[in-house]
Structure formats: C-alpha cells, structure tokens
C-alpha cells in the first residue's frame, strides 16, 4: 500500500470519526430527554445522566392525560396537514410558471422570494389585525393562512430550482398529444417533481409543527391550541416534575423523529435534485 492510499484511507477515517462525533453530540440531548422521561425526579436529581432504575412508561400516559396532549396533537396534525397541502398546491404551480416564463422571470422571482429574508415577527401585528378583521382569531384558519404565506417563498425556491433543471422533453411530447397547460402541469410536470415535493413537505411540516409565536398570538382556546402551546402550559404547571415534563416533550418529538426516519432518503435525494 503506497503513501497516497494511506492518506486516502486516513482521510476517510478522520471524516467518519468527525461525522460520528458530531452525530453523537447532536443526539445526546435527545437521548437524555428520552431517558429522563422514564425516571423519577429523585433519580434525575441524584444522577442526571444515569440509566433508569426502572422503566416508568406510565409517565408517558400520565403526561398525555394531564396535558390534554391528545387534543393538542389533533390540532397540530390538522393544521400541519392543511398548511403542507396549501403550500404545495400553491407553490408548485407558481414556481412552474416562473420557471417556464420568459427568461425564467428572474425579477419576479426575486420579488417573490423577499419572504425568505423578511422576519415573520415583523408581520405579527398587521397579521393579527387582519385576522381579527376577518374574524378568524382562535380558529385553525388563524394559523393555516399565515403558515402557508410564510412557507410559500421557500417552496417556490425549491420547486423553481427543480423545474429549471428538469428536461422539457416530456412536456413537449405531451403538448404534441394535445395536452393543455393545466393538464400538462398536473399530469406531467408535477408528478416528475416528486423529489422537490418531498423536500417542501418535510420542511414545511417541521416548521409548522414546531411554530410557537403565531400560535401564541392568534389562538387562545384548547380547540385551536397546538402542541407547543400545550407544552408551555404543561411545563408551567409541572415545572418541578422533570420526569413528566420530559415525557411530554418526548411525545411531541417522537412523531417528527419517526417521520424523518422514513423520509430522510427522499429528503436528501430531493434536496440534491432541487438545489443541485
């Protein structure tokens, strides 16, 4: 084995160690939270990083019942689903029109993507006033509409990059067969953009599921509160019960972790295709 091969293997080994080390650092708080959700307060205070003396799964059930997490989970799930659907159904056609417009419509795209740099906090007060005028406060609509609006710039950016790099041959063949503009998009272009759609779905769902500011400002009743608000109330009521608090946090985090485990390959491949 020559020196070049040794250096190459050493570089790969160093890269692998770096990836493992960074992954361990990022996973450590999550593992600590999951283990803490199965321990009592006395165990946590005595040895914060120790293994549970007994697996207290009943704390998850108690946190679920006392925190009304079933209702909040349903609200978060419904609002997230509606936000993702609205973002995809509006963002994909808009990006396709920009990508297939004259010269790619770069100026219009730049104007549209101002939302990528505009902070949502700056629009909180005017959005509140608008929702109050429309009598949407304390409803799902008070969250879905702003969430879709703030998710669209990123969705358009991702879809635009994918459509610009996509071959036009399938679309030209469809036009020769007499396919109209609407059918051309929904039957040909949009199905081929599945990788970009996966990226938009995952990123929008993550942002919506964890969003806190708008939810805090625009909804107040349990009928519209999402999980972040429910966890705020729960942690305030159980500020000294670390085990229950960790259990509630674990219940909120697990759906995202499980969902990401199933779509991580799609997310990576889609990001490479849409942004590469």
Task: Give the tens place of pLDDT for each residue, 225-245.
Answer: 998 888 888 777 666 677 888
H/E stretch holding 34: helix 3-36
Max mean pLDDT range (18-27, 133-142, 158-167, 216-225)? 133-142
Q: Say if residue 131's pLDDT is above 60.
A: yes
Q: What are the C-alpha distances in Å from 101 to residues 147, 160, 163, 175?
A: 27, 11, 11, 16
Q: Say if residue 107's pLDDT is above 90.
A: no
What are 183-227's pLDDT values in tens digits? 788 888 888 888 889 889 988 998 999 899 999 999 988 888 998
Distance in angstroms (rounded) separating the CA atoms of residues 92 and 176: 23
Residue 81: predicted pLDDT:
95
- Confirm if 248 and 242 have CB atoms less than 8 A apart: no
What are 53-100's pLDDT values in tens digits? 888 888 888 888 887 888 898 999 999 999 999 999 999 999 988 888
Distance in angstroms (rounded) separating the CA atoms of residues 240 and 63: 14
- Confirm if 143 and 224 have CB atoms less than 8 A apart: yes
**Global model pTM greater than 0.85:** no
Q: End-to-end CA distance of the chain, in Å? A: 36
Residues 204, 208, 209, 210, Cα dihedral to 10°: 110
Q: Say if residue 1's pLDDT is above 60.
A: no
Average pLDDT of 247-256? 82
């Amino acid at each position: 084995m020559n020196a070049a091969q040794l250096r190459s293997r050493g570089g790969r080994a160093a890269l692998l160690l770096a990836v493992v080390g960074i992954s361990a650092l990022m996973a450590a708080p999550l593992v600590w939270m999951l283990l803490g959700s199965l321990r009592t307060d006395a165990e946590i205070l005595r040895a914060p990083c120790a293994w549970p003396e007994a697996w207290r799964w009943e704390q998850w059930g108690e946190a679920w019942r006392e925190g009304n997490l079933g209702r909040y989970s349903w609200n978060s799930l419904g609002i997230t689903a509606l936000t993702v659907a609205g973002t995809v159904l509006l963002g994909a056609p808009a990006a396709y029109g920009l990508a297939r417009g004259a010269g790619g419509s770069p100026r219009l795209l730049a104007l549209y993507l101002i939302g990528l740099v505009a902070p949502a906090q700056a629009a909180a007060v005017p959005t509140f006033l608008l929702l109050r005028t429309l009598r949407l406060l304390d409803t799902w609509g008070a969250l879905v509409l702003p969430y879709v609006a703030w998710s669209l710039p990123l969705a358009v950016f991702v879809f635009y990059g994918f459509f610009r790099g996509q071959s036009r041959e399938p679309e030209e063949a469809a036009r020769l067969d007499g396919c109209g503009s609407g059918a051309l998009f929904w039957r040909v272009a949009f199905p081929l953009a599945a990788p970009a759609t996966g990226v938009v779905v995952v990123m929008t769902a993550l942002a919506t599921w964890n969003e806190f500011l708008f939810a805090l400002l625009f909804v107040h009743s349990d009928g519209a509160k999402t999980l972040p608000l429910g966890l705020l109330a729960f942690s305030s009521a159980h500020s000294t019960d670390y085990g229950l608090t960790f259990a509630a946090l674990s219940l909120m985090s697990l759906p995202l972790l499980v969902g990401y485990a199933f779509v991580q390959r799609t997310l990576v491949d889609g990001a490479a295709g849409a942004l590469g």
